[in-house]
Structure 1
Amino acid sequence: MVLISRSDRTVAVTVQGRTAADPAWSFDVVVPIDLSLVFRGWGPFPGVQGVRNQTGPWDHVGASRNPQLTDGSSATETLTEYDRGRSFAYELTDFSNVLGRLVSGVRGEWTFTPDGTGTVVRWTYEFKPRRGCFLAIRAGLAPLWRRYLLSGLAGALAAVDREARR
C-alpha cells in the first residue's frame, strides 16, 4: 500500500546541494550511507545511532530496516523506488516518538542530476500529517526540519567528496 496518494494533503520540505562527483558515484555513496553520518541530531531532533532488522542490501524496492534514534525511539523505513544512479525513495512509518502522533508517515526522495561534471543532489521529505496536524507540520515542524535536512545533506555530500578523493 502506498503511504501518500494524489489526493492527500501533505507538507514537503526540499533541500539541495552540489558535489563535484558525478551522479552515479554520488548515488553509490549516498544510498548505503551510514545514517549516523547524515542524521547527527539538530535542535529538537534526535540523530540516528544505527539500524536494526535490515532485510539485506539497501539496493532494491522492498528492502526495509528500523533506524534507531538517539532519543531511544525508532521507525520503520522501506525502500519504495530505486533507479540506480538517478534516484531512490523510501517511506518512514511507525515512529515511536512524538512525530508518530503528528504524521502517518513520511516519503523521502533523493535525486541525482548531472550538473556540468558534477551533480545536483535534491532531498525531499514529504510529511503526511495526521488529521488536525497539517498546520502544526507546515508552520512549526517544516521550517525546523528544513534546517535539519540541510545539516544532513551537508553530511552526505561531505561523505561523497571524501570518497571521491580516495
Structure 2
Amino acid sequence: MTTPSAPVSATALVSVLSHPVVAWEFVTGLDPASFYPSYGPLPAVVGVRDQSGDWTTAGQERTLLLSDGGHVVEHVTDAESPTFFAYQLSDFQRLFGVLVSGARAEWRFEKTAHGTRILWTYSFFAKPGRRLIVRAIVKAFWSPYMERVLPGIAAATPSASRRS
C-alpha cells in the first residue's frame, strides 16, 4: 500500500475594508466565470452547470466548465459563516486530470481592525509519480494566478478596497 504524498499547496492573502460577514457572503456567492480567467496553461472558468443549491451550505455541488473544453466538480465541505469556507474538487479533465486526483480550496476570513483579511489556500493532491510536475506547475502558474485573481475579488467585494 502506498502512502499518499503531501498536497502541493499555494496561498494568497488580501485585506478588504468589509466586515467578515460581507466578505464571506460575497466570496461564497460570486460567479466563478466572472473572476477566474485563463492564465498561461490554466483554462478560464466559462460557466457553471448543475449547481445543487446556494453555495453557502456544506454538501452543495456544481460543475465548473472550462475554456479548454474540460470541467471540474466542486463539492462544498465546510461553510462556517463568517470565518471559513472550503470545497473539494474532483473529476479534473485535460492536464490536471492526468496529474492530480483532486484538490481542496479553503477560504479563511479573519476580522481585523479595519475590515477582513482573506486567506485563500489551494491544495492539489498529485497522482503517484507526478508530485514534482504538480509542484512545478503550482509554483510557476497556480501561485501567481492566485496572486492575480484575489485582488480582483477583493476589489469587487462590497465596501472593499485592496489593502497591503
Q: 1:138, 1:7 → 2: CA distance?
A: 15
Residue 12 of structure 1 deviates from its aligned partner by 0.9
Which residue of 2 is the match for residue 69 of structure 1?
66
**Scaled by the length of structure 2, what TM-score is found?**
0.91
Q: The residue matched to 1:55 in structure 2 has which SS?
A: coil
Percent of counterpart pairs with the same letter? Answer: 34
Aligned partners of 2:43, 2:33: CA distance in 1, in Å?
A: 10
From 115, 132, 153, give the equivalent of 1:156.
153
Show the counterpart of 1:3. none
**8 Å contact kept, 2:42–2:141:** no
For 1:21 and 1:37, the matched residues in 2 are separated by: 20
The residue number in structure 1 matching 2:33 is 36
Do residues 129 (structure 1) and 111 (structure 2) align? Answer: no
TM-score when scaled to structure 1?
0.90
Contact 1:54 1:66 survives alignment (8 Å): yes
Native 8 Å contact 2:8 2:138 kept in 1: no
Alignment-derived partner of residue 51 in structure 1? 48
Q: In structure 2, the residue corresponding to 1:98 is in which secondary structure?
A: helix
Q: In 1, Cα distance between the equivalents of 2:28 and 2:22?
A: 10
Q: CA RMSD in A?
A: 1.5
Q: Which structure 2 residues correspond to residues 80-119 of structure 1 after superposition, within 5 A? A: 80-119=77-116
Gaps of 5+ in 2: none
Helix, strand or coil: the match of 1:46?
Answer: coil
Match of 1:142 in 2: 139
Report the CA distance between 1:8 and its aligned residue: 4.3
Give SS of 1:72's match. coil
Kept after mapping to 2: 8 A contact 1:37/1:156? no
Structure 2 CA distance, aligned partners of 1:8 and 1:55?
32
Query: How many residues get paired?
Result: 158
